[in-house]
């Protein structure tokens, strides 16, 4: 496990390890500024739900953190490493300690489930085939897929199985943090709840840190330890469900105090 030298006092006064620190980040395309001075911390072992209106920049931030989009200014420290200052070796170390589940799973259609899970192993490690098979079967089990799913191609899987297979691939190298981009979209409510439960179990058993972009109110209210809301090109508010309910921003109010939210919140709190 990577040592993290960064600790921060949270809003509740606890001192926690910071796994991801985004500071004053600005990102734009041409004349359009999408993120303007955005700051956010993600703590070790938490599930952070990241929400915001469509087009507010959630994917842009995720892609910037992953190094797929260049920021104009600001700093991003992931797993204790300032990504702008990382040399190739340091970048590789960080890459190996993070997993990503892209929207819709993004599995390679020409590879079986087992081969998909082995992609990061092939990319970063030099392991004998038998060991890679064994490790991939362990990941299958971890995400609740049967061994019979291993030789199947993505086109032969249900939506829920695709998400689980993609999660198994994201977990292939036992990362410290996983980034999940709308992991429950397209799943029925039962499948979505089971997926959330699985993510919670991974947090509890592996100490996994989860950064989850989601529109799923159920996930935000029941699975996430903390919520951050993107609006006005930065993080408008972050905190617990109660912090969201106390927030007076019109979008946050409409989202968390709307009719659907009240129903879910009532059933989640019993
Ligand atoms: N490569 C790009 N070039 C130009 N503009 C872009 C690019 N990528 C994203 N944008 C713009 O950035 C803004 C934010 O997009 P983004 O996809 O991050 O929104 P989002 O919050 O993830 O939305 P959704 O919830 O609908 O997925 C949009 O206006 C989008 O058009």
pLDDT band at 154 (very low <50, low <70, confident <90, very high): very high
Q: Report the percent of the chain where pLDDT is more than 90.
A: 51
- The finding on whether 34 has its CB within 6 A of some atom of ligand 1 is yes
Q: What is the mean pLDDT of residues 152-168?
A: 90
- The finding on whether 136 has its CB within 6 A of some atom of ligand 1 is no
pLDDT band at 267 (very low <50, low <70, confident <90, very high): low
Q: Which two tokens stand for residue 125?
A: 């490690």
- The finding on whether 231 has its CB within 6 A of some atom of ligand 1 is no
Task: State the chain's mean pLDDT as an integer.
Answer: 88
Q: Pick the residue with more confidence: 153 or 220? A: 153
CA-proximal residue: ligand 1, atom 5 (nearest): 29
Q: What is the mean pLDDT of residues 31-57?
A: 94
Please state, in angstroms and rounded to a whole number, the distance separating the CA atoms of residues 14 and 240.
14
pLDDT above 60 (res 136): yes
Task: State the complex-level ipTM.
Answer: 0.97
Q: Could you read off the pLDDT of 119-134 as tens digits, one per residue?
A: 988 888 888 888 988 9
Q: What is the whole-number distance in angstroms between the Cα of residue 77 and the centre of ligand 1?
A: 23
Coil, helix or strand for 7?
A: strand
Q: What pLDDT score was predicted for residue 86?
A: 87
CA-proximal residue: ligand 1, atom 6 (nearest): 29
Which range is least confidently modeled, 102-106, 206-210, 240-244?
102-106
- The finding on whether 103 has its CB within 6 A of some atom of ligand 1 is no
- The finding on whether 54 has its CB within 6 A of some atom of ligand 1 is yes
Q: What pLDDT score was predicted for residue 2?
A: 46
Q: What pLDDT score was predicted for residue 194?
A: 87
Q: Could you read off the pLDDT of 215-251 as tens digits, one per residue?
A: 888 888 888 999 999 999 999 999 998 898 888 998 8
**Which of 172, 200, 171, 173 is closest to 184 using CA atoms?**
200
Per-residue burial over 193-226, b = 16 or more CB atoms within 10 Å of its CB, e = otherwise: bbbbebbbebbeeeebbbbbbbbbbbbbbbbbeb
Which range is least confidently modeled, 74-78, 160-164, 209-213?
160-164
pLDDT above 60 (res 3): no
Please state, in angstroms and rounded to a whole number, the distance separating the CA atoms of residues 38 and 29.
16
- Mutate-to-test residue for ligand 1 from 59, 180, 230, 255, highest number of ligand atoms within 8 A of CB: 59
DSSP 8-state secondary structure symbol assigned to residue 178: E
How crowded is residue 104: how many other Cβ atoms within 10 Å of its Cβ? Answer: 14
Which range is least confidently modeled, 132-136, 175-179, 205-209, 253-257?
253-257
pLDDT above 80 (res 262): no
CA-proximal residue: ligand 1, atom 3 (nearest): 29
Backbone angles phi, psi at 157, to 5 degrees: -105, 155
């Amino acid at each position: 496990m990577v040592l993290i030298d960064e600790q921060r006092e949270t809003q509740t006064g606890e001192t926690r390890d910071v796994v991801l620190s985004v500071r004053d980040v600005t990102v734009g395309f041409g004349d359009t500024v999408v993120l303007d001075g955005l700051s956010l911390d993600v703590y070790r072992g938490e599930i952070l739900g990241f929400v915001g209106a469509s087009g507010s920049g959630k994917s842009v931030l995720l892609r910037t953190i992953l190094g797929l989009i260049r920021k104009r200014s600001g700093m991003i420290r992931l797993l204790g490493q300032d990504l702008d200052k990382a040399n190739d070796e340091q970048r590789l170390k960080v890459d190996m300690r993070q997993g990503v589940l892209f929207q819709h799973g993004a599995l390679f259609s020409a590879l079986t489930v087992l081969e998909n899970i082995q992609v990061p192993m092939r990319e970063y490690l030099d392991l004998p085939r038998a060991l890679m098979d064994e490790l991939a079967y362990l990941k299958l089990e971890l995400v609740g897929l049967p061994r019979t799913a291993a030789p199947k191609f993505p086109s032969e899987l249900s939506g829920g199985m695709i998400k689980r297979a993609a999660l198994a691939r994201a977990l292939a190298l036992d990362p410290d943090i996983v980034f999940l981009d709308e992991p429950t979209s397209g799943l029925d409510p039962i499948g979505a709840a089971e997926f959330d439960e699985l993510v919670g179990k991974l947090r509890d058993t592996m100490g996994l840190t989860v950064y989850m972009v989601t529109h799923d109110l159920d996930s935000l209210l029941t699975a996430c330890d903390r919520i951050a809301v993107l609006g006005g090109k930065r993080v408008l508010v972050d905190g617990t469900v109660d912090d969201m309910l106390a927030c007076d921003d019109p979008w946050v109010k409409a989202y968390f105090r709307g009719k659907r939210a009240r129903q879910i919140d009532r059933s989640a709190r019993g």
